[in-house]
């Protein structure tokens, strides 16, 4: 109590700075926001008074906010006001006050949203904004940034603790959030305390507005449940050129959470305008929704299992690609067995769920980039190494030392111009897998004459983590006379346009001419990849894709509709996954894996084939027209920064 009183006295006796020695504040400006009883308001300073102004389109509510005497004299030096309604019905405010000797953070309470009384204060080393959070049995905490790191302090009526505690949220030099962190909003979710932070930075000629996010533990804000990994995309970012926007100076002032949306407010201090941005809260969007576009899993999944009678597929059968020709669904799937190889098997079906499999693989490794014919010296060297890159294999023996497991992985089929093209991942047993392409005449394929063309690698060898290229799919139609190829370099879908399908040394390798990005504020923030050749529909191209989010790192399934003549343009995209790994067979061998590689349409029904837990083949379906309509009706809305209101509208 003595410390609290001494701080009050410090504010009370703080000498006023002559007007000519300080910057005169604007006569009218937004200095904070409030969220009272599920309604949003602005705090507007007008001369030496503060008003609470409603944030509505139809009418303006405006009331004078009264402070105790010791606070009233410092209204010109107040900033970053943040106010909320507490569970007991009271209202709380936190603000920053600029004094001659630095900054103070002041916590105030009110019974009526009009009269506020100071309750606690503490030194604020950097003068950054502070946010109020009520969590864990109505515990109140203040969250702020000190020296660029997110910190917090608990409020206790019986113990006026003024010490700040650290959290794991600090700048990371090797990540998108390398700049000092500043709190934008803090929300209580069922999973924990969600923190939205600003890590924007400015350089000569431009400003990059950038947000990150994290989830702290209830009852212990010093423990972090989740934060985007260093190599993932920001929660949101926005590039501003000073040359094009020299009269715009935006800063994020607050955010609040409602439903599955995070509403963010920005203030332009030059023009005194308020801008808004709607972001998606990922925890409420991480699972499929029964009323939205969704796939129904086949009740008798998995439809393919390892066959113990075949050594080449006795361990795993997964990641299937599919092709519908006439009434027959043709399936190629990856298989692993005791032979130490990854190969490709074949099955056919007349109903889309029951498949007749061939007794032998239809495609096996034959090239050096698939691990064939390595020199004896290289094999001896690899066997001495215990850290050889192991690709996606799950069945290495416990005494594995270097070279043994290799092969062909994760095929994708596309039929074009009388041929069936297959792109797959080629793994040589000791380096990162890279995509390769081969093809076969359609008639040979249908008659099981496996006369595959000599495969060609499509990229140079990657050596660093995150540079590997996978999920390569050939678009089933040329665009402006060029082949279109989707591929993935972590974390985005990349798109290339080529004149021919000749690849390799002395020819060409895949490049990026366009991209479809992972979404930082959604369920697919970690990585995305095309699952299969897009399907032509009335609206354009239906593309099924796989994605994972940094919140749980589970592989899920999504859908997009691409423009008919420009497949780099996304018209609609699922705001939630259309399938998630919840069944036993999706968590048996490897937890949380539903990895689609094939999709076809049979009799008006969409069939999506996917690898389950890197061991089984499963299928899920949906009536195509109903699926498309739901996808269009409730598609993901890309966050857009929009001017909301001007100071003149708030001060009528």
Is the pLDDT confidence value at 413 over 70?
A: yes
- Given this model, what pLDDT does residue 480 score? 97
Which residues have a Cβ under 8 Å from the Cβ of 45 and sit 6 or more positions away? 25, 26, 28, 29, 30, 31, 51, 75, 76, 78
Domain with CATH 2.115.10.20 in the chain: 2-11+27-288+639-650, 296-633
Asked which of 13-27, 101-115, 436-450, 595-609 is least confident by mean pLDDT, the reply is: 13-27
- Given this model, what pLDDT does residue 245 score? 62
Higher pLDDT, residue 481 or 553? 481
Q: Coil, strand or helix: which one is 368?
A: helix
Nearest C-alpha neighbor of 117 from the set 140, 92, 100: 92
Structural contact between residues 252 and 265, judged by C-beta atoms closer than 8 angstroms: yes
- β-strand partners of 192: 189
- Given this model, what pLDDT does residue 114 score? 94
Cite the DSSP H helix spans in 491-646: 624-633
Q: If you average pLDDT over residues 65-72, what whole number do you get? A: 90
Is residue 390 very low, low, confident or very high in pLDDT (cuts 50, 70, 90)?
A: low
Is the pLDDT confidence value at 95 over 90?
A: yes
Pairing state of beta strands 39-46 and 28-36? antiparallel
CA distance 590 to 497: 35
- Given this model, what pLDDT does residue 36 score? 93
Strands (E) in 218-298, as ranges, are 220-227, 236-241, 250-258, 261-268, 273-280, 296-297
* pLDDT more than 70, % of the chain: 90
Nearest C-alpha neighbor of 148 from the set 175, 162, 166: 166
Is the pLDDT confidence value at 220 over 90?
A: yes
Read off the pLDDT of residues 238-277 as tens digits, 9 standing for 90 and up. Answer: 987 665 666 678 899 999 999 999 999 999 988 899 999 9
Is residue 21 very low, low, confident or very high in pLDDT (cuts 50, 70, 90)?
A: very low
Q: If you average pLDDT over residues 9-27, what whole number do you get? A: 38
Specify the pTM: 0.90
* Mean pLDDT, the chain, integer: 89
Q: Coil, strand or helix: which one is 648?
A: helix
How would you label 444-481 residue by residue, b for 16+ Cβ within 10 Å and e otherwise?
A: ebeeeeeebeebbbbbeeeeeeeebbbbbbbbebebee
Q: If you average pLDDT over residues 192-199, what whole number do you get? A: 97
- β-strand partners of 537: 540
- β-strand partners of 98: 103
Is residue 355 exposed (0-12), middle (13-18) or buried (19+ Cβ within 10 Å)?
buried
Read off the pLDDT of residues 537-555 as tens digits, 9 standing for 90 and up. Answer: 999 999 999 999 988 889 9
- Given this model, what pLDDT does residue 402 score? 46
- β-strand partners of 18: none
Which residues have a Cβ under 8 Å from the Cβ of 559 and sit 6 or more positions away? 293, 542, 543, 544, 545, 573, 574, 578, 627, 631
Residue with tokens 């630095």: 102
CATH number corresponding to 2-11+27-288+639-650: 2.115.10.20
- Given this model, what pLDDT does residue 351 score? 98
CB atoms within 10 A of CB 203: 8
Distance linking the first and last C-alpha atoms of the chain: 42
Which residues have a Cβ under 8 Å from the Cβ of 537 and sit 6 or more positions away? 561, 624, 628
CA distance 9 to 365: 80
Does 296-633 carry CATH code 2.115.10.20? yes
Strands (E) in 448-513, as ranges, are 456-457, 469-474, 483-489, 492-498
Determine the distance from the C-alpha atom of residue 238 to the mean position of all C-alpha atoms in its chain, rounded to a whole number.
15
Is residue 85 very low, low, confident or very high in pLDDT (cuts 50, 70, 90)?
A: very high
Structural contact between residues 394 and 589, judged by C-beta atoms closer than 8 angstroms: yes
Is residue 598 very low, low, confident or very high in pLDDT (cuts 50, 70, 90)?
A: very high
Structure tokens at 112: 């009526």
Q: If you average pLDDT over residues 267-292, what whole number do you get? A: 93
Determine the distance from the C-alpha atom of residue 140 to the mean position of all C-alpha atoms in its chain, rounded to a whole number.
29
Determine the distance from the C-alpha atom of residue 40 to the mean position of all C-alpha atoms in its chain, rounded to a whole number.
27
- Given this model, what pLDDT does residue 374 score? 76
Structural contact between residues 427 and 410, judged by C-beta atoms closer than 8 angstroms: no
Q: What are the backbone dihedrals phi and psi of residue 97, each rounded to the nearest 5 degrees, phi first?
A: -120, 130
Is the pLDDT confidence value at 5 over 60?
A: no
Is the pLDDT confidence value at 126 over 70?
A: yes
Residue with tokens 């932070």: 197
- Given this model, what pLDDT does residue 58 score? 67
Is the pLDDT confidence value at 14 over 70?
A: no
Higher pLDDT, residue 584 or 375? 584
Q: If you average pLDDT over residues 168-195, what whole number do you get? A: 95
Structure tokens at 284: 């409420």
């Amino acid at each position: 109590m003595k410390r609290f009183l001494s701080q009050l006295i410090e504010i009370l006796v703080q000498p006023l700075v002559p007007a000519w020695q300080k910057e005169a504040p604007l006569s009218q400006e937004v200095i904070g926001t409030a969220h009272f009883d599920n309604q949003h308001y602005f705090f507007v300073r007008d001369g030496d008074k503060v008003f609470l102004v409603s944030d509505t389109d139809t009418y303006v509510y405006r009331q004078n906010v009264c402070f105790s005497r010791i606070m009233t004299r410092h209204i010109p030096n107040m900033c970053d006001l943040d106010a909320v309604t507490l569970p007991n019905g009271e209202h709380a405010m936190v603000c920053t006050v600029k004094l001659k000797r630095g900054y103070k953070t002041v916590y105030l309470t009110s019974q009526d949203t009009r009269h506020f009384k100071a309750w606690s204060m503490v030194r604020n080393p950097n003068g950054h904004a502070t946010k109020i959070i009520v969590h864990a049995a109505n515990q109140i905490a203040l969250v702020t940034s000190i020296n660029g790191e997110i910190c917090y302090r608990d409020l206790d009526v019986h113990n006026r603790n003024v010490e700040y505690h650290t959290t794991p949220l600090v700048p990371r030099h090797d990540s998108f959030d390398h700049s000092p962190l500043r709190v934008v909003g803090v929300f209580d979710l069922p999973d924990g305390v969600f923190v939205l932070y600003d890590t924007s930075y400015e350089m000569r000629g431009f400003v990059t507005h950038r947000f990150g996010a994290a989830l702290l533990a209830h009852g212990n804000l010093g423990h972090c449940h989740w934060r985007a990994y260093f190599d993932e995309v920001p929660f949101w970012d926005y590039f501003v050129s000073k040359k094009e926007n020299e009269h715009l100076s935006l800063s994020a002032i607050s955010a609040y959470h409602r439903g599955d949306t995070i509403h963010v407010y920005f203030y332009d201090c030059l023009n005194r305008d308020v801008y808004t941005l709607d972001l998606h809260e990922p925890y409420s969007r991480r699972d499929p929704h029964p009323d939205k576009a969704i796939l129904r899993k086949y009740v008798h999944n998995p439809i393919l299992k390892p066959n113990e009678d075949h050594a080449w597929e006795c361990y795993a059968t997964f990641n299937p690609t599919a092709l519908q020709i006439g009434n027959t669904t043709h399936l190629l799937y990856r298989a692993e067995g005791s032979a130490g190889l990854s190969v490709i098997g074949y099955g056919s079906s007349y109903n889309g769920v029951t498949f007749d499999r061939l007794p032998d693989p239809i495609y096996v490794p034959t090239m050096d980039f698939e691990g064939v014919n390595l020199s004896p010296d290289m094999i001896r060297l690899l066997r001495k190494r215990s850290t050889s890159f192991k690709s996606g294999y799950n069945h290495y023996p416990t005494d594995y030392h270097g070279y043994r497991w290799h092969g062909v992985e994760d095929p994708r089929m596309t039929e074009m111009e009388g041929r069936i093209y297959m792109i797959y991942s080629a793994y040589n047993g000791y380096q990162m897998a890279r995509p390769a392409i081969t093809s076969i005449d359609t008639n040979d394929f249908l008659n099981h004459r496996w006369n595959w063309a000599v495969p060609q690698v499509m990229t140079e060898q990657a050596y660093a983590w995150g540079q590997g290229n996978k999920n390569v799919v050939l678009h089933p139609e040329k665009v402006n006379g060029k082949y279109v190829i989707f591929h993935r370099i972590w974390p985005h879908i990349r798109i290339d346009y080529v004149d021919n399908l000749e690849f390799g040394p002395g020819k060409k390798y895949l490049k990026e001419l366009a991209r479809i990005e992972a979404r930082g504020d959604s369920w697919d923030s970690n990585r995305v990849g095309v699952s299969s050749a897009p399907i032509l529909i009335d609206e354009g191209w239906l593309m099924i894709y796989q994605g994972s989010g940094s919140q749980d790192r589970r592989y899920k399934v999504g859908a997009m509709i691409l423009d008919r003549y420009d497949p780099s343009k996304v018209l609609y995209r699922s705001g939630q996954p259309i399938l998630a790994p919840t069944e036993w067979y999706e968590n048996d061998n490897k937890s949380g894996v539903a990895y689609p590689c094939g999709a076809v349409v049979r009799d008006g029904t969409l069939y999506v084939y996917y690898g389950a837990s890197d061991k089984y083949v499963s299928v899920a379906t949906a009536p195509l027209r109903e699926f498309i309509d739901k996808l269009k009706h409730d598609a993901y809305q890309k966050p857009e920064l929009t001017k909301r209101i001007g100071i003149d509208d708030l001060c009528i």
